[in-house]
Structure 1
Amino acid sequence: MVVEFDPTQKTKTNLRSHYPDKFLDKTIPDTVPRFCFPEEELTFDGYDENREKIVEEFSFILTVMDGSRRFGFCRRYRSRKGDVKPFCNVIISNWSSFSLFQQVMDVIDLLPSEEVIVSFLKLLLSKPFPAKEETVAVELNVNNEKSNTFRFTRSSNPYEFLDYVSYEPLFKTCSVKTIMLLFSALLSESHVIGIGKTLPHISACMNALTSLIYPFNWQHVFIPILPKQLIEFVEAPMPFLIGMLSDAGPLLEEREIEEGTLILNFDNDTFIKAPAVIEETLPSTLATSLKRNLTRLKTSEIRGQAFNQLVAHIFLRFWVDIFVNYRTCFGTPQGEHNFDVQKFIKSRPKQMLSFLQKFERTQMFFMFIEEQEQLSAASKL
């Protein structure tokens, strides 16, 4: 899809073109444009003054009627001169393989016309979605010249989300203490709002936050970038994780937000709104170890993909220490594959008791265990 920003339009956006011609979900044409341009007015506040042309990447998630999710990957183009109308190329998919989508966007940038782009997309979409490590090849004739072959490879990374999610923006602007408080809030399924000046920064921080809880998944409302037109979402009673641009901040003051909601400014690591006392509900020994390892990594010279891998490993280590041998709690004398929660909690050290008694009531725990029960049953067939 190609979405233009047009301030003369009431909605501020215009759906210029899309492929395929028909949408499987009829809400897409009305919904997607506002996520591509969540601002009511485009500014260059927060961007490098020496950059004449701004190309920015970010993502969003849509929840459709059946409860499933669609992932949006955006590459947006703007010019300070104003000689080109701002526009955004966006891919909507059932998959969150953003590194693969980056490769597709790179090719689209090279193609000379919309007609050629449509031909390319038609060929690409005729291929099955690749498995991990698999490469898809598309042969395309450009300008009636010799055919070009474009290859797209899906990541082999066991943590595929790390090919797009970067922890560096989050750790660069936030202290380890703040990150641990946010981690604790997510595990308590609280209300969390993060704000920032630029779309790429806020999108990166929000996506990094949700990936910290891996192998669990955030089961509630997750909107990396909330359009101003949907500001009422911040009054929702159910847990949510919402990102917003700073210029929407004043609108929050007009809303009745749930008591206990955390609102963090990612640009200066400041809580705008928080409970009088923000509790870290993590087991004390594990919290100390987590803080020590994250501080050591944050102050090191390690950067890039190695940094991302180590952050993921540190948080995964936290879960391994809690859930070690949890598989022994599957099954009953009657041969069922249910997970015995109380048996599991009693098997863990006392210092984990308070945390686990709260965590086992969360939706993320319930869904994780349900998936493991299904796997346990399937392995016995």
Structure 2
Amino acid sequence: MQMVPKFCFPFDVERKPPSPAVQHFTFALTDLEGNRRFGFCRLRPGAQSCLCILSQLPWFEVFYKLLNTLGDLLAQDQVSEAEELLLNLQQQQPPHRPQPSRGPEMVSSSVCMCACMSLSCFVAPDSDCLPSIPENRNLTELVVAVTDENILGLFAALLAERRVLLTASKLSTLTSCVHASCALLHPMRWEHVLIPTLPPHLLDYCW
């Protein structure tokens, strides 16, 4: 937990903020066994605090929507409503995936975890499905920001398990492209070092 602020502010906070707009970005914490915990962040320009949710679930659309809802509530000084929403979500049972039947009719494999409050509904995505556009915001961002030729080159580099370094002027674009690149490997997974956001104290990984 002591390292989380360095990932929430992976830049010099005394200088001009990296973007004049609200930024959504992620970072990844990997333990000694290779298990990843993702940090989902919402950062307002010039803010001295950052909204961050830690989870082992790579549910980008769900957590970004939740962060926006919390940001709107806090901007209106509705702190108790924001705390109630978080408590309601924390008490939700883990989603259970139904097994498909053997008959001609297949049971829907979609998983739904809803917590309806403040007109918000959060639906757990199906991680077994191929990523698609525009449902997958990361993949959409990659296609918009990167040329087709570079996407193919990036895909080939990942298949060859090469070291890949991505740069961008916006944190949101950077982390979206990193996670979208991993999604391109579906149903395979990137098993090596993954640092979507590289704070200054981790620059040695670039050498």
Shorter-chain TM range is 0.7 to 0.9
C-alpha contact (below 8 Å) 1:97/1:161 kept by paired residues: no
Identify the residue that residue 277 of structure 1 maps to in structure 2: none
Distance in 1, Cα, partners of 2:153 & 2:41:
30
* Paired residues for 1:76-155 under 5 Å: 76-79=43-46, 85-111=47-73, 112-131=77-96, 132-138=110-116, 150-155=120-125
User: What per-residue deviation string (whole Å, max 9, x for no partner) do you get for residues 266-321 of structure 1?
Assistant: xxxxxxxxxxxxxxxxxxxxxxxxxxxxxxxxxxxxxxxxxxxxxxxxxxxxxxxx
Q: Structure 1's 194 and 93: CA in aligned 2 closer, same or farther, altered over 3 A?
A: same
Corresponding residue pairs, total: 188
**1:202 corresponds to 2:174:** yes
C-alpha contact (below 8 Å) 1:96/1:161 kept by paired residues: no
Q: Structure 1's 34 and 213: CA in aligned 2 closer, same or farther, altered over 3 A?
A: same
SS at match of 2:198: coil
Q: Give the deviation of 1:158 after TM superposition.
A: 5.1
User: What per-residue deviation string (whole Å, max 9, x for no partner) do you get for residues 43-72 of structure 1?
Assistant: 356x4xxx6xx2111112111233211111
Q: Which protein, 1 or 2, shows the higher relative CO under an 8 Å CA cutoff with sep ≥ 6?
A: 2
C-alpha contact (below 8 Å) 2:59/2:124 kept by paired residues: yes
Q: Give the deviation of 1:224 after TM superposition.
A: 0.9
Q: Give the deviation of 1:223 after TM superposition.
A: 0.6
Gaps of 5+ in 1: 1-28, 80-84, 140-147, 236-381
Which one has the bigger helix percentage? 1
C-alpha contact (below 8 Å) 2:61/2:137 kept by paired residues: no
Identify the residue that residue 291 of structure 1 maps to in structure 2: none
Q: Structure 1's 106 and 168: CA in aligned 2 closer, same or farther, altered over 3 A?
A: closer
Distance in 2, Cα, partners of 1:31 & 1:188:
31
C-alpha contact (below 8 Å) 1:134/1:154 kept by paired residues: yes
Which one has the bigger strand percentage? 1
State the percentage of identical aligned residues. 28
Q: Report which of the two structures shows the higher radius of gyration computed on alpha carbons.
A: 1
Q: Give the deviation of 1:102 after TM superposition.
A: 2.5
Q: Give the deviation of 1:149 after TM superposition.
A: 6.4
Identify the residue that residue 180 of structure 1 maps to in structure 2: 152
Indicate the RMSD between aligned Cα atoms, in angstroms: 2.5
TM value normalised by structure 1: 0.45
Q: Give the deviation of 1:124 after TM superposition.
A: 1.6
SS at match of 1:91: strand
SS at match of 1:206: helix
User: What per-residue deviation string (whole Å, max 9, x for no partner) do you get for residues 220-249 of structure 1?
Assistant: 0011110011111223xxxxxxxxxxxxxx
